[in-house]
Amino acid sequence: METGLPLIICLVCIVYIVCDTGSDHSTSVIKFDVQKELQDLRNQLHHETTVRIQFDQELSAMAQRYRTLSIDFTDAKLENLEMKKQLSHMLLALQDTSNQMNQWATLNTSIESLRSEVQKQNETIRLLKGADVAFQAKLVRTIGSTMTAHKVVVFDNVEINVGNGYSTRTGKFTVPEDGIYVFHWTCMTHTNNVFRTELVVDGNIKVGNHAAANFPTDAHDTGSQMYTGRLTKNNQVWIRTFHTETYLRGDGWSAFSGYKL
């Protein structure tokens, strides 16, 4: 724009000088043409000025937008740096949490291992010790009639029966598990009577008991005995008469008990 306008002005001046040497008629025509050309030049100059002003305004707006974008970009960079810092802190916190979780998992594994070991030891102790087994039975109903030999003496009232080994229906104790067992029993008879009993295991005699009340010195007499032996599960132990026997006092004076060591 700036180089084209001076060139046009120079050309117009040259034409004016050349034409000035002609006739008057030609001079009038040339002057008219020059005036027209000058008016066109003025219009073009005005247009170019307007365009330049618009261009300057657009350039200024673009510069303003650039400054705004530059500020926004700087803010974005700062925000990005802050986000990176926060992310770094979050990653560190996450790593710490992960380490703690791993430590907890290891601790839980150790606890479960210890719990399992304790359970195994408890089971071993239980097997070595065995379950508690004990019973205590007494005779409530006095046996006044004669009993023939090898009849089971049924102690009809149970006060304790841990392990449910003793039966008041059969009068026999069934061994619930292997182990060493201790048994006691006491029998009471009255004047001029003898009541002999024996403890048997599966029908095999282990020990005997003799209760005798001699007239006239003894109104009543008792006989007591005990047995300790190693028994196996399902062995049966009971008290039976030795021979024909008469009168066994009840009301708790005669009793049968046993327990596992």
Per-residue pLDDT of 92-145, as tens digits, reads 888 888 888 888 888 888 898 888 888 888 776 666 666 799 999 999 999 988
The residues with which 62 forms a beta bridge, in sequence order, are: none
In the predicted model, is pLDDT for residue 78 greater than 60? yes
The residue ranking higher by pLDDT, 165 or 54, is 165
pLDDT class for 188, splitting at 50, 70, 90? Answer: very high
pLDDT of residue 206: 97
Q: Write out the two tokens for 23.
A: 């006739």
Three-class HEC string of the chain: CCCHHHHHHHHHHHHHHHHCCCCHHHHHHHHHHHHHHHHHHHHHHHHHHHHHHHHHHHHHHHHHHHHHHHHHHHHHHHHHHHHHHHHHHHHHHHHHHHHHHHHHHHHHHHHHHHHHHHHHHHHHHHHHHCCCCEEEEECCCCEEEEECCCCECCCCEEEEEECCCECCCCCEEECCCCEEEEEEEEEEEECCEEEEEEEEECCEEEEEEEEEECCCCCCEEEEEEEEEEEECCCCEEEEEECCCEEEECCCCCCEEEEEEC
**CATH of the domain spanning 134-260:** 2.60.120.40
Q: How far apart are CA 253 and CA 186, in angstroms?
A: 8
Q: Is the pTM of this model over 0.85?
A: no
Query: Does pLDDT of 1 surpass 70?
Result: no
Which one-letter amino acid corresponds to residue 138? K
Is residue 228 within 8 A of residue 181, CB to CB? The reply is yes
Q: Helices 4-19 and 24-129 meet at what angle, rounded to 10?
A: 170
Is pLDDT of 6 > 90? no
Higher pLDDT, 18 or 73: 73
Using CB atoms within 10 Å of the CB of residue 245, give its burial: 0 to 12 exposed, 13 to 18 middle, 19+ buried: buried
Q: How far from chain centre, in Å, is Cα 135?
A: 42
Q: Which residue has the higher pLDDT, 173 or 85?
A: 173
Name the residue among 160, 158, 189, 165 with its Cα closest to residue 254. 189
With beta carbons less than 8 A apart as the criterion, state whether 237 and 201 touch.
Answer: yes
